[in-house]
Amino acid sequence: MLEPLSRGGGGKCKVPPTLNISWVLATSICIWFLFIHAPPYLLAKDYIQPLLYVHLFGAYSVYLACVHNTLLTPSTFGGAARPFHIWIGRAGLVLGVFGFITGFILTWFIYDASNDLGFSIGITYGGVAQMHVQIMGYRAIRRYQDFKSQIEAGEYENQDELIALEDEQDTQLSIHIVAMINLFALACGIPALIRVGAAIGNAYLPLLFVGAYGISYLMAKPIMKKLKASRAAARGEGLTSEESELNQNSFGFDQYFSLSMNK
């Protein structure tokens, strides 16, 4: 899901910038929900709807694809992770659509949604959020690839047009990165957070959602810094002081929120 920020490094293995405490927290929620909480809950059922297996396959696939792709970015292992990142990401997105459709059918047409209306609404909101960020992220990466092709084909008249194309390319890549991290930490995490809220008290749900948004912001921040630094290096924009470096690598909450809400 995350396109490479650079292919340099001479094959040197670099630690992915998303391998931080935010990724560990988001992954811990995923592992707890998928492999600790869910199995006993499912095994306790006397009967499981066959469609639920399809839903679970799709939901597990997209969630685990997010875990993988936010750790092994395309530039990991000197670019060796790129094909795995691309194909696992594509498979996760496609199977995520099946997970959403089957989950919606189960919630509103097979099960009695009124038994726990709050959960039914919450889980549906999570599915809609999942579809939103999946579409936004896919659309952004396609646009990124279009701008990249234009640059590689030399379809620009002068340096100013090249810079404009590069800026558009970086904008679309930024939207893609933020959308996919939101898919991981927020959209896929909503069912898990609802279960956590049920365990500790639903009054804590708003705080849990704010915390998840904070996790996604902190996960995106180092990648956005790397993107800005890579572009500056490619343009030969040397940083002359500590202050200029901070300005070059800054990525504030307002920028993140703007990318998150980008249509």
pLDDT tens for residues 205-246? 899 999 999 999 999 888 888 889 989 998 886 544 444 444
The amino acid occupying position 220 is A
> Which pLDDT does position 238 carry in this prediction?
53
DSSP conformation class of 261: T
Please report, for the chain, the start and end positions of each structural domain, with discontinuous segments joined by +: 21-260
Nearest to 99 by CA among 68, 118, 127: 127
Task: Give per-residue pLDDT as tens, 33-88.
Answer: 999 999 999 999 999 999 999 999 999 999 999 999 998 887 778 888 889 999 99
Lowest mean pLDDT among 5-19, 60-74, 192-206: 5-19
The span from the CA of 182 to the CA of 218, in Å, is: 11
> Which pLDDT does position 158 carry in this prediction?
93
- Residue 121 pLDDT > 90, yes or no? yes
The span from the CA of 42 to the CA of 139, in Å, is: 35
Task: Give per-residue pLDDT as tens, 127-177.
Answer: 999 999 999 999 999 999 999 999 999 999 999 999 999 999 999 999 999
Task: Give per-residue pLDDT as tens, 244-257.
Answer: 444 445 677 777 77
> Which pLDDT does position 263 carry in this prediction?
57
pLDDT bucket at 201, cuts 50 / 70 / 90: confident
> Which pLDDT does position 104 carry in this prediction?
97
> Which pLDDT does position 184 carry in this prediction?
96
Contacts of 229 (CB under 8 A, 6+ apart): 248, 249
> Which pLDDT does position 61 carry in this prediction?
97
> Which pLDDT does position 168 carry in this prediction?
96
The amino acid occupying position 125 is Y
> Could you please report the per-residue DSSP string of 181-236?
HHIIIIITTHHHHHHHHHHH-GGGHHHHHHHHHHHHHHHHHHHHHHHHHHHHHHTT
